[in-house]
Chain A
Amino acid sequence: MTMMVAGPAVRHSFAVRIGPVGFRVGSDWRTPIAALETLYADYPAPADDVPDFSVRLFARRPWRRFVRPAVMIGGDYVLPEAAPLPLAQGLLAAEMGMNLQMALGQRRYLLLHASAVERDGRALLMTGMSGAGKSTLAALLGRRGWRLMGDEFALIDPETGLVHAFPRLVSLKNAAIGVVERAIPDARFGPLMRATPKGDIRHLVPAAEAIARMEEPARPALILFPRYGFEPAERPVAPSEVFVRLTQASTNYTALGEPGFAALTRLVETLPARAIDYPDAESAIAQVERLWAAL
């Protein structure tokens, strides 16, 4: 059989497992793959070498590999009209691509846009708007006696109610970058990417324990709605409000149908929930420890 047009092969690729989820990333450029290889060096391969999701970073037109290279994000699941990123932000494009597969394609777990840390087999979930500080708090707690389970998605198994870890690279934004760099000077960081569509971004490699124990699920024990930039305060959150906020925080609640509803209401009915306001990270960590001790 003759080929009319030989489509170019995928030039560079990388595969990784984060918690229970396998990914492969194919790219027209070497640099994003090299960054992934370095930062995810301690992570395992996908189970059975078959990834759950594929991400593709590609040039819209062949010459755009070289001339003002612009990285388009593709994959098994895509949003129409997603804007490309400059090649210097290729690592961010890969991370966005992987998050997108989870947000649009994940059907095994109820996905909560939340960070999660674990202690003694029990998990603390933190959710809130972008800028609430959930990634920062999870990163800091992850170096202070807690195991980081993830800064972006908490994976709730509808059958068991357990939360599964998804400890991808922690995505630090804007002022949080300096806060974490000062607090954990010996940590491994990715390149600083300035002025991305999400502001300045720098990725943090989770502590070794977070990666080594990423297959251990935990029982959710407390849910917090943190808010950065206010005087320290805390209030209980009514189940009705928790329900609404969690449905908003879940990307696949509707797609899961009845199992999603059952998993979500179970969280609402069994977990104590608090909203906490905090002016700085130290204050927040003290609030978290106090609430946890009072459980």
Chain B
Amino acid sequence: MGRAVRYDGDLLARALRDPASTGSLDAGGWTALIGIARAEQLAGTLAHRLEGVAMPGAVARIMVDARASAAQGRIAALWEAEMARRVLAPLDCPVVLLKGTAFAAAGLSAGVGRSIGDLDILVPRDRIDAVEAALLGAGWEWVKPDPYDDAYYRRWMHELPPLIHRERDRMIDVHHTILPLTARITPDAAALIADSVALGNGLRMLSPADMLVHAAAHLFADGDLAGGMRNLWDIHCLIEQFGTDGLAERASHHGLEAEVHRAARLAHALYDTAIPEAWRTRHRADALYRRRLTARDGWGRPTRPLLRQGFYLRSHWLRMPPAMLARHLWTKWRKGYRPV
């Protein structure tokens, strides 16, 4: 099975960008595509993109299941948002949905078939204690028992330590900004909230430009690009739906212009996203990012370990100053944590 051909994430990117291209896949190719899509949390998205495309019966059944699973995931995610809304409503503070839940609540194309994990919300920093107390009083509990992790989150992170609801077993991440406080870039959190958009159910979402800025920040200024194909698909859908007018100005207001441009270039490269001609410049590092984003084999296994390791180190480099980084990695190492 799949002996001769070596697949990577480009197989998935091509199927998302050009669904008809799957017409040339044999059984091994379909199998690899499904494995990579699951590993990248894009099975539901792929299943929606491929609706109406000719495919073997076994694949069609898998796609039906993936769409049903995403539909149920959407119901559960919106219910979780509603649960949080009810608890936080008496506080009379703006609650902004982020990422997948926001896309689903607003009916955006980025939300179609998207897998949604935790509930991510943004609240004003000066209200975060009240938000935390309200959630703790309504059945949410700490996930991280480790005092180092807890203290680290509270002092340096852009969010509270993750909370989990003891009955529904769902996590909530309460953000007060979109990048760690230790990062060299400091987005304008007050502007994110001031320009957020009401959703009609008492909750809010970021403005379209800020959603794009947030997605780009998350992808290129924070993490190690894990799950990056899905984040980049979000960016693709947001640009396709809202365009790029005013985006560069907004990005530079938050200090994230380079990240937004890189996100747009890579979305264009992987998903053929329509971006302005002037943005289609050549950057040597883009090829490395692309190879990291697509580092999967036909079994869904992570590949290119050195490249992954490099991006892992980079994520920490971006996140904190060198002395602090050394101390942090040493503490984590002693606790037995090993990357990759």
Q: Does B34 contact A (CB under 8 A)?
A: yes
A52 to B301, CA, bound (A): 17
Q: Are B301 and A47 in contact (CB under 8 A)?
A: no
Q: Are B30 and A256 in contact (CB under 8 A)?
A: no
Partner of B75 from the list A7, A22, A24, A257 (CB cut-off 8 Å) is A257
Contact B69 A47 (CB under 8 A): no
Most buried by B among A50, A52, A58, A255: A50
Closest B residue by C-beta to A259: B68
Check B34 against A50 for contact (C-beta < 8 Å).
yes
| Given known contacts A48-B27, A108-B65, A255-B69, A4 and B306 CB-to-CB distance under 8 angstroms | yes
A230 CA to B72 CA, complexed, in Å: 42
Residues from 39 to 62 in A contacting B, C-beta threshold 8 Å: 46-52, 54, 56, 58
Interface residues on B, range: 35 or more
Q: Which of B30, B304, B306 contacts A50 (CB 8 A)?
A: B30
Residue A90 at the chain B interface, CB threshold 8 Å = no
At the interface, yes or no: B17 with Cβ under 8 Å from chain A? no
In Å, the complex CA distance between A256 and B57 comes to 22
Interface size on A, residues (CB 8 A): 30
Contact B297 A107 (CB under 8 A): no
Does A46 lie within 8 Å of B58, measured CB to CB?
A: yes
Given contacts A107-B68, A257-B72, A257-B75, contact A50 B31 (CB under 8 A): yes
Is B138 an interface position by the 8 A CB rule?
A: no
Contact across chains for A54 and B304 when beta carbons are under 8 A apart: no
CB < 8 Å neighbour of A56 from B56, B59, B301 = B301
Chain B interface helix/strand/loop/mixed? helix
Which residue on B lies nearest to A58, using beta carbons? B301
B303 proximity list for chain A (CB < 8 A): 5, 7
Is A10 part of the binding interface, using a Cβ–Cβ cutoff of 8 Å?
Answer: yes
A97 sits at the interface (CB 8 A): no
Q: How far is the CA of A157 from the CA of B291 in the complex (A)?
A: 42
A4-B304, A4-B306, A76-B38 known; A50-B59 Cβ under 8 A: yes
Closest CB of chain B to A264's CB: distance in Å? 15
B1–A24 contact, CB under 8 A? yes
Which residues in B have their C-beta under 8 angstroms from that of A5? 303-307
Contact call A50/B62, Cβ cutoff below 8 A: yes
Q: List 12 A-B contacts (CB under 8 A).
A: A3-B304, A7-B297, A9-B6, A24-B31, A47-B57, A48-B57, A49-B1, A54-B299, A107-B69, A256-B72, A257-B72, A259-B68
Q: A3-B304, A4-B304 are in contact. List 15 more A-B contacts (CB 8 A).
A: A5-B303, A9-B3, A9-B297, A10-B297, A48-B59, A49-B58, A50-B31, A50-B59, A54-B31, A58-B301, A76-B35, A76-B38, A76-B39, A108-B64, A256-B72
Q: Chain A: residues with CB nearer than 8 A to chain B? A: 3-5, 7, 9-10, 13, 15, 22, 24, 26, 46-52, 54, 56, 58, 74, 76-77, 107-108, 255-257, 259
Q: Would you list the 10 A-B pairs with minimal beta carbon distance, nearest first?
A: A49-B27, A7-B303, A48-B58, A48-B56, A257-B72, A47-B58, A50-B58, A107-B65, A76-B38, A107-B69
